Amino acid sequence: MRSGTVAVIGRANAGKSTLINVIVGEKVSIVSPKPQTTRDRILGVLTREDYQIVFVDTPGLYRGRNALTDLMMKTTETTSKDVDAILFVHDGHAGIKEEDVFLMKKYLSLGVPALIAYTKIDIMPKENIPADVKTLFEAGIAADVYPVSARKGQNIAKLEKAIAAMLPEGDALFSEDIVSDRSEKFMISELMREKILLKYEKEIPHGVAIVVNKFEKQENGAYAIDLDIVCEKKNHKAILIGKQGQALKETASFARKDMEKFLGAKVFLTVYVKVREDWRDRASLMKEFGYSSED
């Protein structure tokens, strides 16, 4: 069989995590309309009869402005150098800018097989596709381009086959029942962060970290989960909580429903909001919240 790792790389918000979730067939990585949703390297594993693709989701390429984004960019950089293949994801509906060509050239010439997923074709005029493919070709980008829509499932099967064909012959890296390398506890914290990304504006979600203090399965099968939403500033805490706690109540209930779906069981969720000034620039706090270069 063929098997190997594929780094999924592209600009922030391009649609990398959505594409991985669709191909793997399960939600392994959270998704939101805000850039910088993915902060960590996350594996999504697809096992078929004659191949296994281990996708490595990465933080989207973005100009760093604090120690956390610097670490995220370092994560993407190191991942790109340690895989069997690269899938560069481009948001087709955003057009092609000089910066895209620059990034594609950088990540498509690392000496491993690579191809381009040109995604979100469901929300753009179809006639732009051949023109963009020509632009890329004329700019000297040699990789094959697969126009897809993760949202509508268009051309996904074709893309999957092309990715599998890039992988070397070898044994499966994971047993066939594995879809992610992450624990349930990690996914719970990510689902909470996803709801904050979806519900709050501007800098608030980007300054949030989640710390799960209790994750317990009870005898009746239900889960008792206590977590902290850590934010950067006092006024962010006030916004997160809202008038009479209404905003937090809604966010927590939204998250709880998704956690119940994910765990297949009832969840009792307790949420606290804490402030840790400028934690995104403080190495010790970043580490405490699960962001360090060691893993």
Ligand X SMILES: Nc1nc2c(ncn2[C@@H]2O[C@H](COP(=O)(O)OP(=O)(O)OP(=O)(O)O)[C@@H](O)[C@H]2O)c(=O)[nH]1
Contacted by 122, from Mg ion, ligand X, none: CB < 5 to 8 Å by type: ligand X
Q: Does residue number 36 form part of the binding site for ligand X (CB under 6 A)?
A: yes
Find the shortest distance in angstroms from Cβ 182 to Mg ion: 14
Nearer to ligand X, 37 or 79 (CB): 37
In terms of CB distance, is 2 or 258 closer to ligand X? 258
Rule CB under 6 A: choose which of 31, 86, 96, 269 binds ligand X.
31
| Candidate list 6, 7, 12, 192; residue touching ligand X; CB under 6 A | 12
State the helix-helix crossing angle for 16-24 and 156-166, rounded to 10 degrees. 90
Name which position in 4, 5, 7, 15 contacts ligand X (CB under 6 A).
Answer: 15
Residue whose CB is less far from ligand X, 74 or 217: 74
Q: How many residues bind ligand X (CB under 6 A)?
A: 24
Chosen residue from 5, 52, 80, 119 binding ligand X by CB under 6 A: 119
Residues, the chain, total? 295
The nearest distance, CB 219 to ligand X, in angstroms, is 37
Six-digit token string for 170: 């070898």
Q: Does 37 bind Mg ion (CB under 5 A)?
A: yes
Stretch that binds ligand X, among 15-23, 167-175, 240-248, 282-290 (CB under 6 A): 15-23
The answer to whether the CB of 213 falls within 8 A of the CB of 258 is no
- Output 59 or 207, the one with its CB closest to ligand X: 59
The residue assigned the tokens 């000297």 is 140
Residue 196 interacts with ligand X (CB under 6 A)? no
Instruction: Report if residue 193 touches ligand X, rule: CB under 6 A.
Output: no
Q: Is the dihedral of CA 115, 182, 198, 240 positive or negative?
A: negative
Least distance in Å: CB of 12 to ligand X?
A: 4
What span, in angstroms and rounded, lies between the C-alpha atoms of 39 and 14?
14
Q: Does 189 bind ligand X (CB under 6 A)?
A: no
- The site map against ligand X for 143-182 (x = CB under 6 A) is ------xxx-------------------------------
Which partner in Mg ion, ligand X, none is near 205 (CB below 5 to 8 A by kind)? none
Nearest residue to ligand X, by Cβ distance, number only: 60
Q: Tell which one of 6, 7, 9, 14 touches ligand X (CB under 6 A).
A: 14
Nearest alpha-carbon partner for 54 in 164, 193, 133: 164
Residues that bind ligand X (CB under 6 A): 10, 12-18, 31-33, 35-38, 59-60, 119-120, 122-123, 149-151
